[in-house]
C-alpha cells in the first residue's frame, strides 16, 4: 500500500494548510479556557500593551484565583504598569470601554466586544487604591481568592522574589512551573515547599555533561549515573530532530525523587554568558557570588557589563532604583571586589597585579528594566516569553539603552 505518497495525490484544494500556532485559527473573541482574557490578547506583540490588556480583563474579574507569568520580572512589570495606567484602567471598567494601548489595532475591534462595564467593581478597586498605597499583599486585596502565582523565580529571576512576595502577600503559593528551553522540555515543578527545585521528565532523551571544578566539560553521563551536588549541562535528543543538543545551562543535582528516582535539579546559570577582563573570564556564577556579599544588591534587579571607560576595565553593574530603596553605600564596591576575588582565582591574581579593580555601580531611573524589556521586545519582534534581562549584558545597543537611563553612580 503506497500510503507514503498519499500527499502527492491530493489536489491543491484538498491539501492541508500547516498552521504554526493555534492562535491563528481560533476565534479571537472566544474566551481562552481558564483565563480572563480572550484568545486574541495573546496576539499582541507589544510587551507593555500585552500585559496591560491582560490587566484590564483581570481587574474586571474579582474571583480570579491564579496568576500565570513566564518570569517573576513579568509580574513586577505587570504591577508597575498597572500603577502607571491605574486611572485609565478603572475608567474603562466603569464605562465598559476596553483601554486601547499601542500596537493593538489588529485585535482590538474583536477583543473589545468581550469587555463589559462594571462600575461596582471599578469603585471597589478605587477604594483599594493603586499598588503604591499597599505595602504588602496588594494583589491579594484586589483578588481575595488568589491562591497561586506560577512564574519562574529561580536563577537570575530570584533577584526580584522579595518584591514579588510583597505584591502577593505571605499566603499565596509561588510555584516555578517548569524548567526548559525553546528546544526541549526538561523538568517540572517538584514541590511547593521547595520552589527552586524541579524534577526531570523523560519526554525527550536527556543526557548530562559534567561540569568540572574549573568550569570545563567533563564526561557525558546517563541519568542513572548522576551524583548529588554535582553540576551538569543538559544535552538533549528530541523527537523534533535535535541530536545531542547542548542547552548551555548549568544545573545542580540536589537529590532524587524517592518515588521513581528521577533527578531533582536547581538551575544555576547560563554557561555561555561571560565577560573578559585582562586576567580573568568572569562568569554568571562569579557575578552571583560577588553580589551575595552586598545586602543592598541581593534583592534588586541588576545586570553586569564590561565597563571600559577607564584603563584597566572593570566589572560594571547597572542597578534599577525604585522609590524608597535603600541607598547603596560606597563600601558596596569594596564588597563586590572582595566577592569577585573569592569567586575567581584569576581575578584574584589580577587584583594583586593591580589589573583587577573595584567594580562600578551605576543607578538607573526607576522602571528602567521594565522599559528595557519593552524596548527589547519591540526591537527584536520577540514574544514575551523571551524578553529577559541577562545577568551579563554584552550587546552594545542594550548597553547604550541602559546608559541613557543612568541617573547616579556610586563612588
Please state, in angstroms and as integers, the Cα–Cα distance from residue 309 to each residue in 102, 141, 220, 305, following that order: 37, 47, 42, 12
DSSP E strands in 249-403: the ranges are: 249-256, 263-270, 274-276, 281-283, 302-307, 314-320, 360-364
Please state, in angstroms and as integers, the Cα–Cα distance from residue 298 to each residue in 67, 84, 290, following that order: 25, 26, 10
| 367 pLDDT higher than 70 | yes
Residue pair 37/124 in contact (Cβ under 8 Å)? The answer is no
pLDDT band at 2 (very low <50, low <70, confident <90, very high): very low
Q: State residue 310's pLDDT score.
A: 87
pLDDT digit string, tens, across residues 187-198: 888 888 888 899
Q: State residue 135's pLDDT score.
A: 81
Give the three cell numbers for residue 162: 522579595
Q: What percent of the chain has pLDDT over 90?
A: 54
pLDDT band at 324 (very low <50, low <70, confident <90, very high): low
Q: What is the mean pLDDT of residues 157-166?
A: 88
pLDDT digit string, tens, across residues 380-392: 766 555 678 889 9
Higher-confidence position of 193 and 306: 306
Q: What is the mean pLDDT of residues 311-333?
A: 83
Q: State residue 323's pLDDT score.
A: 53
Higher-confidence position of 158 and 150: 150
Give, to the nearest 10 degrees, the angle between helix 331-343 and helix 284-291. Answer: 130
The full DSSP string for 368-396 is HHHHHHHHHHHHHT--GGG----SB---H
Q: State residue 34's pLDDT score.
A: 82
Q: How many residues does the chain have?
A: 411
pTM metric for this prediction: 0.79
Q: State residue 339's pLDDT score.
A: 94
Q: What percent of the chain has pLDDT over 70?
A: 91
| 361 pLDDT higher than 80 | yes
pLDDT band at 322 (very low <50, low <70, confident <90, very high): low
The least confident of 54-63, 133-142, 144-153, 268-277 is: 268-277
Higher-confidence position of 24 and 182: 182
| Highest mean pLDDT of the ranges 79-88, 191-200, 316-325 | 79-88
Q: State residue 306's pLDDT score.
A: 94
Residue pair 44/23 in contact (Cβ under 8 Å)? The answer is no
Higher-confidence position of 63 and 16: 63
Distance CA 211, CA 208 (A): 9
Phi-psi region of 368 (alpha: psi -120 to 50; beta: other; left: phi over 0): alpha
Q: State residue 230's pLDDT score.
A: 95
- Structural domain spans, the chain: 22-175, 179-270, 274-410
Distance CA 180, CA 264 (A): 14
Residue pair 340/282 in contact (Cβ under 8 Å)? The answer is yes
pLDDT digit string, tens, across residues 252-289: 999 999 999 999 999 888 887 889 898 888 988 899 88
Q: What is the mean pLDDT of residues 46-70?
A: 94
Higher-confidence position of 180 and 253: 253
| 21 pLDDT higher than 70 | no
| 12 pLDDT higher than 70 | no
Q: State residue 383's pLDDT score.
A: 59
Amino acid at each position: 500500500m503506497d500510503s507514503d505518497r498519499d500527499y502527492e495525490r491530493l489536489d491543491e484544494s484538498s491539501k492541508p494548510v500547516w498552521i504554526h500556532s493555534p492562535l491563528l485559527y481560533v476565534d479571537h473573541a472566544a474566551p481562552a479556557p481558564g483565563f480572563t482574557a480572550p484568545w486574541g490578547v495573546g496576539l499582541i506583540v507589544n510587551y507593555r500593551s500585552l500585559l496591560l490588556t491582560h490587566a484590564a480583563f483581570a481587574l474586571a474579574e474579582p474571583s480570579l484565583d491564579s496568576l500565570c507569568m513566564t518570569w517573576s520580572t513579568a509580574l513586577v512589570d505587570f504591577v508597575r504598569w498597572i500603577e502607571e495606567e491605574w486611572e485609565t484602567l478603572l475608567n474603562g471598567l466603569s464605562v465598559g470601554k476596553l483601554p486601547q494601548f499601542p500596537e493593538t489595532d489588529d485585535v482590538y475591534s474583536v477583543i473589545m466586544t468581550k469587555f463589559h462595564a462594571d462600575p461596582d467593581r471599578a469603585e471597589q478597586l478605587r477604594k483599594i487604591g493603586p499598588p503604591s498605597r499597599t505595602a504588602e499583599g496588594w494583589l491579594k486585596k484586589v483578588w481575595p481568592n488568589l491562591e497561586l502565582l506560577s512564574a519562574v523565580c529561580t536563577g537570575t529571576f530570584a533577584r526580584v522574589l522579595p518584591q514579588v512576595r510583597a505584591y502577593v502577600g505571605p499566603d499565596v503559593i509561588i510555584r516555578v512551573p517548569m524548567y526548559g528551553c525553546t528546544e526541549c522540555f526538561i523538568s517540572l515543578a517538584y514541590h511547593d515547599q521547595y520552589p527552586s527545585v524541579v524534577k526531570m521528565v523523560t519526554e525527550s532523551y536527556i543526557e548530562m555533561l559534567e561540569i568540572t571544578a574549573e568550569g570545563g566539560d567533563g564526561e557525558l553521563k546517563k541519568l542513572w549515573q548522576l551524583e548529588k551536588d554535582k553540576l551538569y549541562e543538559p544535552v538533549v535528543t528530541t523527537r523534533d530532530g535535535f541530536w545531542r543538543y547542548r542547552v548551555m545551562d548549568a544545573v545542580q543535582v540536589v537529590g532524587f525523587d524517592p518515588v521513581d528516582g528521577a533527578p531533582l535539579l536547581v538551575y544555576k546559570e547560563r554557561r555561555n554568558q561571560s565577560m573578559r577582563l585582562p586576567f580573568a573570564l568572569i562568569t554568571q556564577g562569579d557575578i552571583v557570588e560577588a553580589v551575595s556579599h552586598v545586602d543592598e544588591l541581593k534583592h534588586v534587579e541588576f545586570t553586569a557589563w564590561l565597563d571600559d571607560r577607564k584603563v584597566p576595565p572593570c566589572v560594571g553593574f547597572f542597578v534599577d532604583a525604585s522609590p524608597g530603596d535603600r541607598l547603596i553605600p560606597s563600601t558596596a564596591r569594596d564588597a563586590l571586589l572582595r566577592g569577585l576575588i573569592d569567586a575567581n582565582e584569576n581575578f584574584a591574581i589580577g587584583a594583586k597585579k593591580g589589573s583587577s579593580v573595584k567594580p562600578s555601580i551605576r543607578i538607573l531611573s526607576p522602571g528602567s528594566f521594565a522599559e528595557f524589556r519593552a524596548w527589547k521586545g519591540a526591537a527584536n519582534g520577540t514574544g514575551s516569553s523571551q524578553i529577559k534581562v541577562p545577568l551579563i549584558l554584552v550587546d552594545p545597543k542594550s548597553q547604550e539603552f541602559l546608559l541613557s537611563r543612568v541617573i547616579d553612580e556610586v563612588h
